[in-house]
Amino acid sequence: MSAAARRFAGSPEGLAGAAILLALAALALAAPLLFPGDPQRIAGPALVPPFADGTFPLGTDRLGRDVAAGLAHGARTSLLVGLAAAVASLSLGSLVGTLAGLAGNLAGAALMRIVDAFQTVPAFLLSLAFVSVAGASLPAVVGAIALGAWTGPARVARAEVLSIRERDYVANAAVAGMHPLGIAFREVLPNALPPVLALSAVIVAGAVLTEAALSFLGFGDPNRVTWGGMIAEGRTVLRSAPSLSILPGLLLVATVVGVYLFGEGLTEALSSRRIRA
């Protein structure tokens, strides 16, 4: 076990977050086995309350769809969107930040002005506009969320690169005749990644909430069950069947808390490693 892994294992917050995320991941992976078939199909009578029917342990919605099946399959969508958006935004942000940090003053300033331009627009409004134009599909939702989240990693990566590029091993690589792109992606970027990766927890949590908000407003993928869509569906019968909105809302809260705690443990482990280095 590496030193960073040992430090993470000693973090109560990180372990609690990992346990929550593992439970949600297990639910998402087991959804096709526990609830085979289309989770959006009509499965029984409408508005069966929770724990009133063994066939539908969490009840049914106003159309007769199984709530438990929707929650399990919704976990797949939420986690997939969160992870995909984090990978996309971290990749784009790291690339732009690295190039801005290593480029000359004019090129670096131009790249950072692009970052500033994206940051002037609220991330959710940018996501909403993108999905409105591109259409309500899962790839469009992922792209929309990444479009509003890549600027943070870009700024952090640039700040790290500006510090790292002055170190001796970077100068030695340049003297040895290594291509500038090789220096950027083999010597500089790997050492700039830890603080950038620490943002992944915030991005994943924000992506999950953004996807839920887009689904709540009717801009989610209509072919997939989402927690935000379930909350929106339940608001029409909020007085008579509050569980239809409460249950997916609780899972959203659990996901965000789990990601936050996991991120705290990861940040602490990576920060300790950097301090010792």
So where are the chain's domains? Answer: 80-217+250-276
The letter for the amino acid at 5 is A
3-state SS, residue 149: helix
The letter for the amino acid at 75 is A
pLDDT at 101: 85
pTM of the model: 0.82
> Rounded to 10 degrees, what is the CA torsion of 238, 28, 4, 199?
-50
122/142 Cα distance (integer angstroms) = 16
Would you say domain 80-217+250-276 falls under CATH 3.40.640.10? no
Structure tokens of 101?
């940090």
Dihedral sign, Cα of residue 28, residue 194, residue 258, residue 148: negative
pLDDT at 273: 47
DSSP 92: H
266/11 Cα distance (integer angstroms) = 9
Are 187 and 170 in contact, with CB atoms under 8 Å apart?
A: yes
Structure tokens of 267?
């940040």
267/273 Cα distance (integer angstroms) = 10
Are 249 and 255 in contact, with CB atoms under 8 Å apart?
A: no
User: What's the angle, vertex CA 24, arms to CA 19 and CA 30, rounded to 5?
Assistant: 125
204/207 Cα distance (integer angstroms) = 5
Residue 218 Rama label (left phi>0; alpha psi -120 to 50; beta)? left
pLDDT at 41: 92
* Burial profile 141-164: b = 16 or more Cβ within 10 angstroms, e = fewer: bbbbbbbbbbbbbbbbbbbbbeeb
Structure tokens of 6?
């040992």
User: What are the percentages of helix, strand and coil residues in the chain, rounded to 5?
Assistant: 75, 0, 25
150/28 Cα distance (integer angstroms) = 26
Cα 69 to chain centroid, rounded: 22
Dihedral sign, Cα of residue 42, residue 29, residue 142, residue 138: negative
How do the pLDDT tens digits run along the chain, 277 residues long? 577 677 778 888 889 999 999 999 999 999 999 999 899 999 999 999 999 888 999 999 999 999 999 999 999 998 899 899 999 999 999 889 888 888 767 888 899 999 999 988 888 999 999 999 988 888 999 999 999 899 999 999 898 888 887 777 777 777 777 777 777 777 777 777 778 877 888 898 889 889 999 998 888 888 889 999 899 889 889 899 999 999 999 999 999 999 889 888 877 776 654 444 4
Dihedral sign, Cα of residue 8, residue 12, residue 13, residue 15: positive
Are 90 and 68 in contact, with CB atoms under 8 Å apart?
A: no
